[in-house]
Amino acid sequence: MTAPCPTACGVLKLLSEVRRKPLGTGPIHNYFLFTGPRATVIFYLVNILHIISSPRKAASASIQLGNGIIEKLEAAYPGSTVKVHDLATTPFPHLEEAKLQSFFTPAESRSPEQQAAAKHSDDAIQEIKDADVIVIGAPLYNFGIPSTLKAWVDHIARAGITFRYTAGGPEGLITGKKVYVAMSSGGIYSEGPSAGYDFVAPYLKAVLGFLGITDVTVVRAEGLAIPGVQDTAVQKALDSVVIEALQTEEVL
């Protein structure tokens, strides 16, 4: 397979886990090498995970906003991968005794029933580990996150797996990730008299930070129920998102 590069034409190769470069505080796992007779040009890629929690599909502002953020990421990093996990269509079950017991049982000691009980959590954690960038759609429902999103959080917060307790306090074990929270709300909660009713952004930043994910950007499409504001709320939020892509590099 051949492809052009700024200095020469050459062979396109996809390498994984070979070279790491920072995206915010996180690593880039993949890159393309365009190899020619005079130079090798590196184009960086990202693995993107999109968590959807709204059941409103195309009518959802948080989904529209999340998709818009991902479009900007793909424009900055052409060829990047996107995995979508729609919690409205494939929800996580609420925690019950069998699941909690499976979480606290070492993987090698689990019974077949416990392995099945832990699968949702194990799979969700692996999705996060595989991602460089996570886009979380988070509509504000009654001042908090949807119950489907809370169930997802309950499955990714695992002592000894995604965080641990030490003599110096808790330590997050999921590091090197960039998160965009695509938040939507009918009112204005970023400032003004309703700011104290926003339990979406503070909660997600707190729980993600507890797990080690501290590079979190909250993008708000707000005022969606306010005449004169609602028609431009999503676009205004998208316009505020600036993706600073890694520059391509020439290795002579």
CA dist 39 and 178 (Å) reads 31
Place of tokens 């796992």: 29
E-strand ranges in 5-46 read: 9-16, 22-23, 26-27, 30-35, 40-45
The answer to whether the annotation marks 61 as part of a ligand binding site is yes
Q: Could you tell me if 88 and 53 are in contact, meaning their C-beta atoms sit under 8 angstroms apart?
A: yes
Asked if residue 124 belongs to a known ligand binding site, the reply is: no
Task: State yes or no: 62 annotated in a binding site.
Answer: yes
Whether 178 and 134 have beta carbons less than 8 Å apart is answered as yes
186 among the known binding-site residues? yes
Q: Is 8 annotated as a binding residue?
A: no
Q: What φ, ψ does residue 145 adopt, rounded to 5°?
A: -85, 160
Q: Is 24 annotated as a binding residue?
A: no
Any binding-site annotation on 212? no
Would the annotation count 80 as a binding residue? Answer: no
157-166 long-range contacts (CB < 8 A, ≥24 apart) are 157/207, 157/210, 157/211, 158/103, 158/121, 158/125, 159/103, 159/104, 161/125, 162/125, 162/128, 162/211, 162/212, 163/210, 163/211, 163/212
Tokens of 11: 């062979």
CB distance 41 to 33 below 8 Å: yes
Q: What six digits make up the tokens of 72?
A: 């900007």
Which residue positions form the known binding site? 54, 60-62, 184-187
Which residue positions form the known binding site for FMN? 54, 60-62, 184-187
